[in-house]
A and B are shown apart, each in its own frame.
Chain A
Amino acid sequence: MSSSKGLTFKGGIHPTSDGKALSSSAAIQDAPLLEEYQVIIHQNIGAPPKVLVAKGDEVKKGQVIAEAGGFVSVALHSPTSGKILKIDNIPGPMGVPVQAVFISADGEDQWGELMPPMDWKNAEPQAIKDRIRDAGVVGMGGAAFPTHVKLSPPPEKKLDCLILNGAECEPYLTADHRLMVEYPEKVLEGAAILGKAIAVTDIYIGVEVNKMDAIDTLLAKADAYGIKIVGLQVKYPQGAEKHLISAIIKREVPTGGLPMDVACVVQNVGSAAAVADAVTEGKPLIERITTITGLPVKNPSNWRLKLGTPIVEAIKFAGGIVCEPAKIILGGPMMGFAQKSLQVTVTKNTSGVLLMKKEEITQYQSTACIRCGRCLDACPMNLQPGSLSAAIESEKFDLAAKNNLMDCVECGSCAYVCPSNRPLVQHFRRAKAEIRNRSKK
């Protein structure tokens, strides 16, 4: 580690109370088996998987219920053994109804036939990538981008390093933290497998220095794998891939580019653990570690939840609520999505279920920009949020695009520091949607 403060990037913010203490010492628990799971079919970015089962079919735990529907797509597996009740719409995590497979659990929770364990040290990189796709592994930090796609750059792009994101910069979330503390071998082995798949040996795991126990645990075992553990400054959005790259290997991803343009691949530690399970044990991704937290939750804690667990049940696992929540967010408070239904189910990217009290949330009244420039200091992408939002408000989308609006990562740092409470990110999201629509025409 270079300093006790850790490496970092330009810009960003640090929320004063990050809420991590609520659940950071709660060990990961296995969730009890429910009677019914509603597994959302389209959980990954890219093409939706093709459903292979029909009403009335018997399925085993880990059985494929939908196969990859294209290159940018992954398979989906049954979280438990039981019977397919129906395929119907349920409220989705983005607020619009989505299709889900309803599985009635038989209580046995019996594994079907697993994929054979691989001797990954002597395996072909392509075989590892195929296994990762077949096991349904996606970016578990939040984006749900298929992992094997990130590992398959076009041949002209050479890769020389792999970075695992263990920053967990979102306030409140502690799922990755607990994973690194309790299953360091899984994370390290997953990292080594990912390195093998892209044929690089330069592997880093970046962890914010507010998780010293995780850093110490990983450091104790990392040498055996030849992996470097890097302490990062506690700052949001430290876990965004472009900022991890800038902090750890001091390379800047060009505008409109991807990490592969600077010879780098970034993966989440949760995805690495899922890769380790898939390759060494042949287990598909059917459960994930989720933080259930917030002041209204009785016992804020970390749970290994099966895909398709309704969040209302997840909150019950954590002891239920002690007071009425005013807002329920899937993910962290900065980039998560507020929910209007408790019937939304856990997906591969549900890193947290955050409940907030009425006193914690505010109905802001936004006022005019006073040109204080705080958003400029906060923007980790070196954009000018104030001028961009002014352009968007007068519908000058071309001007906004010219000023690199499309590079915005929607981290919300600008809106967080704005003294006029301007809904900056919302303007940007709207304009990005508009610009994408126009370029399609």
Chain B
Amino acid sequence: MEVFVTAVITMAVIGIILGAIIGIAAKLFKVEVDPRIDLVSELLPGVNCGGCGKAGCADFAKSIIEGENPPSKCPVASQEQISSIAKALGIEVGDAVKQVAVVFCGGDHNQEKVQTLYNGVSDCVSASLIAGGPKGCSYGCLGMGSCARACPFNAIEMLNGLAVVHPHLCVGCGACIDTCPRKIIELAPQTAKVHIYCNSPEKGAAKMKVCAVPCIACRKCVKAGEENQFIIDGFNISVNYEAEKLVDTAIFENVKCPTSCLLSETEHLKIEKASKSEVV
């Protein structure tokens, strides 16, 4: 009986002492957490895609509160989510333009010549290390789908040996950009609906040898468009996404691209689908 009482008392005393230490430590070493971070994190989509440039949504929430980024910098959040964050914090929504990824190549298996039989690992980096890849053009899409596998939103589809971005699914997080060994994926403003799907700096004749849909720098589009709408860089032309007035589908009323590399987003998707069904 005596042993029992001693044990209970000892345990109680130890408990009280430890409890007191924890209590003091909690007061002394208290970490102040801004409650708004939790609030904003709740309102963010929570996919941790990294598209804002921060290490996940909680980090981005912190940067909003510190005023480093506006809420609209989140590429995934809908307009309602963004305005509810702005409302909760009493700040401006911001004017970050939503961006989408564009694969600057139109050479699917029907359009681009295949020069070698490739029998190796189905991965773009691996394929590019062997004789520069199986396709004829050294600047085009390799078609092994490394970017499609890297996309957290399933926005990239491999159609007949060409990576195609579905703009309504793409949030512009940029996860695909670094996976491409050819570096042909770039972000463009979502408002741009017309692109030149070619990025080869080769001369027109050299491109025509390996591909049916290259930009041959004929400049028909440049002449038909307004000033500054296109950038001429050597033997390649690209759309100027920083122009005051972006080139839009109206340009097709004035000009038809002889090689069909100047296309609207919707036309680009259509062509790939058609060629896929032909193969199947």
Contact = CB atoms under 8 A, between A and B. Distances in A.
Contacts of B119: 363-364
Interface residues of B, number: 15
A426 B118 CA distance: 12
A430 B126 contact: yes
Contact of A434 (B115, B116, B125, B132): B125
B121 A363 contact: no
B157 interface: no
A256 to B, nearest CB: 22
Interface in B88-128: 115-117, 119-121, 123, 125-126
A121 to B, nearest CB: 46
B47 interface: no
Interface in A409-441: 423, 426-427, 429-430, 433-434
Given A96-B138, A97-B138, A430-B126, A338 B121 contact: no
Contacts, number: 41
Contacts of A94: 131-132
Nearest to A92: B132
A2 B84 CA distance: 83
Given A364-B119, A423-B120, A426-B120, A96 B125 contact: no
Most buried by A among B119, B131, B133: B131
B130 interface: yes
B62 to A, nearest CB: 25
Contact of B125 (A95, A97, A430): A430
Contacts of B279: none
A414 to B, nearest CB: 15
A142 to B, nearest CB: 16
B130 A426 contact: yes
A430 B121 contact: yes
Contacts of A120: none
A96 B117 CA distance: 16
B131 A337 contact: yes
Nearest to B123: A430
Contact of A427 (B115, B116, B117, B126): B126
A426 B132 contact: no
B8 interface: no
B129 A430 contact: yes
Given A95-B131, A340-B115, A364-B119, A426 B138 contact: no
A94 B116 CA distance: 13
A339 interface: yes
Nearest to B129: A429
Contacts of A337: 131
Contacts of B131: 94-95, 337-340
Most buried by B among A95, A364, A427, A434: A95
Contacts of B130: 95, 338, 426
Nearest to A327: B117
Contacts of B116: 95, 338, 340
21 contacts: A94-B131, A94-B132, A95-B130, A95-B133, A96-B132, A97-B138, A337-B131, A338-B131, A340-B115, A426-B120, A426-B121, A426-B126, A426-B129, A426-B130, A427-B126, A430-B121, A430-B125, A430-B129, A433-B125, A433-B129, A434-B125
7 interchain residue pairs of minimum CB distance: A95-B131, A95-B132, A96-B132, A430-B126, A340-B116, A340-B115, A426-B120
